[in-house]
A and B are shown apart, each in its own frame.
Chain A
Amino acid sequence: MKVLVAVKRVIDYNVKIRVKADNTGVETANVKMSMNPFDEIAVEEALRMKEKGLATEVIAFSAGPAQCQETIRTALAMGADRGILVQTDAELQPLAVAKLLKAVVDKEQPGLVIVGKQAIDDDSNQTGQMLAALLGWSQGTFANKLHVADGSAEVKREVDGGLENIKIKLPAVITTDLRLNEPRYASLPNIMKAKKKPIEVLAPDALGVDVAPRLKTLKVEEPPKRKAGIKVKTVAELVDKLRNEAGVI
């Protein structure tokens, strides 16, 4: 069974983002970019399946500008076998990415698609569920544990009250939560090897997908700032403030 993983190029987790002065978006020029952390977890899970003999090939997919090749290379350095980039400079929203993924799934016929539950830039938490819908597949979202056997998958999901276990038919789409695994670091030899692994580059048109955005971003602003308060010296002072100043206890 082939496993397809989707990896998104986002502003690095550790970068403090800056809203552009003209309120059109967030500054991305000269900012460190990395693979979306939830997608690293997706790659790791696929690689573990391959190591256990459950997957025959791990394909890393990305969509976006040419630089997304670097993100795919990261996945290849972790151990993925080959990459597919749908290259476009257009703004891509989750529905468009799900449609691009569907077109690639139709072509590659993987038995499982694993994606991060959300990207840390737009925080949408949509693409995996949308892909499952478009394919008519089952979905195992916010996965905390994944067990694949005999044409089905048991998924332990992180839900509001704790954990939930579901059994879903394959093929399926899995979206990863934080505690599914701890992604590996790529070793230097594997980084060298990854340079020789193939990346196929496609255009959205060639896949017959209209990627035009459905949501128009009117403006992007700084959130209202919270003022730092005061430091109190003693617990008695704190309790007094909470009782008599804030009135919350």
Chain B
Amino acid sequence: MAILVVAAHDGKTVRANVANAVAAASQMGSDVHVLVAGSNAGDAAKSAAAIPGVAKVLQAEDAAYGNWLAEDIAPLVVKLAPNYSHVVMAADSVGKNIAPRVAALLDVAQVSEAIQVVSPDTFVRPIYAGNAMATVQSSDKIKVVTIRPTNFKAVAGSGSAAIEQIGGTGGSGLSSFVGAELSKSERPELTSAKIVVSGGRGLASGENFKMLETLADKLGAGLGASRAAVDAGYVPNDYQVGQTGKVVAPDLYIAIGISGAIQHLAGMKDSKTIVAINKDEEAPIFQVADYGIVGDLFQIVPELTAAVEKK
């Protein structure tokens, strides 16, 4: 049976993590379909059709699908699900909101944040903030799975899947979208950035994050933060890297003034190379860092910024 990947998108293109979800789905079965629901989702559907490994794109048009409300999208997925062995979504804020609603309506369990597909019914997923790995087997007829995008490498190249128009299911009338307060940034998105510069409590103020912005811009990096820095109001919530924030796995992660609570480590320890800058040499962050510098970040960061400039 085929696999259904439910894609989030911005109206123009599907999110980058849809390609990761397709890669994960390809390990569960060979026939991968992508559902693109929206109002005016034609361009997004085309972008899904170009992902290698996609056999077919289902484009569902309905005014109710414009803002990705779980109450409206879930019935559509539930309607399609009986034709599929798996329903797969990326474990981002859209997938986490919708997938459990779909699973409950189908009366099946959901596997959250799978990091490995062992076999079509068996998955590895982190528990206890990544301090243990559970291998779970689903006995349900339809398996609803969210996957952690950083653990499934998108397949390179491009595809040209057929796009099939399907009908919508209408609105539920239960909820409505009022507006968004999205952070505007020219920097790469955290979860797909090749380099991430992150700041913690050690920065001591939101003002001091400017220093990190300069470094990030020099490196073409995304900017992240620890929960402590977000809770202290230095930066907005969407900067948070960690178990309850974003999970990142860039080539280079630079942790600045971050002590390294386990919840933070859970969000970044799969990074290829980790650098830690902290004045406390006992800070747990040094236990996962490839390269550490013990010292005053207010001295080191400007020095580092200057040093990366001259090649």
Q: Which of B92, B96, B99, B108 has the most CB of A within 10 A?
A: B96
Decide if the interface of chain B is mainly helix, strand, loop or mixed: mixed
A87 at the interface (CB under 8 A from B): no
B156 at the interface (CB under 8 A from A): no
A206 at the interface (CB under 8 A from B): no
Contact call A129/B101, Cβ cutoff below 8 A:
yes
Which A residues from 178 to 210 make CB contacts under 8 A with B?
178-179
Is the interface on chain A under 10, 10 to 19, 20 to 34, or 35 or more residues?
Answer: 35 or more
Contacts of B61 in A (CB 8 A): none
Contacts of A215 in B (CB 8 A): 109, 111, 136-139
How far is B236's CA from A179's CA once the two chains are assembled, in angstroms? 11
Contact call B122/A167, Cβ cutoff below 8 A:
no
Is the interface on chain B under 10, 10 to 19, 20 to 34, or 35 or more residues?
Answer: 35 or more
A169 at the interface (CB under 8 A from B): yes
Contact call A123/B251, Cβ cutoff below 8 A:
no
The verdict on A214 contacting B237 (CB below 8 Å), with A129-B70, A133-B100, A133-B104 known, is no
Segment from A43-51, A54-62, A234-242 that makes contact with B: A234-242
The verdict on A249 contacting B180 (CB below 8 Å), with A138-B174, A216-B137, A231-B286 known, is no
Contact call A163/B237, Cβ cutoff below 8 A:
yes
Closest to A126 in B: B100
How far is B289's CA from A242's CA once the two chains are assembled, in angstroms? 12
Which A residues from 217 to 249 make CB contacts under 8 A with B?
217-223, 226, 228-236, 238-239, 241-242, 246, 248-249
B293 at the interface (CB under 8 A from A): yes
Q: Which of B108, B113, B176 has the most CB of A within 10 A?
A: B176
Q: Smallest CB–CB gap between A128 and chain B, Å?
A: 8
A sample of 26 cross-chain residue pairs with beta-carbon separation below 8 angstroms, ordered by A number, consists of A122-B127, A123-B112, A123-B128, A124-B110, A125-B100, A125-B112, A127-B100, A129-B97, A130-B101, A133-B103, A133-B105, A139-B97, A141-B96, A144-B237, A160-B238, A161-B182, A162-B182, A213-B109, A215-B109, A220-B127, A223-B130, A223-B131, A226-B269, A226-B288, A230-B290, A242-B273
Sample of 12 more A-B contacts, CB < 8 Å, known A165-B180, A215-B109, A215-B136: A19-B132, A123-B128, A129-B104, A160-B246, A165-B178, A215-B138, A217-B134, A220-B127, A226-B269, A226-B274, A226-B288, A231-B292
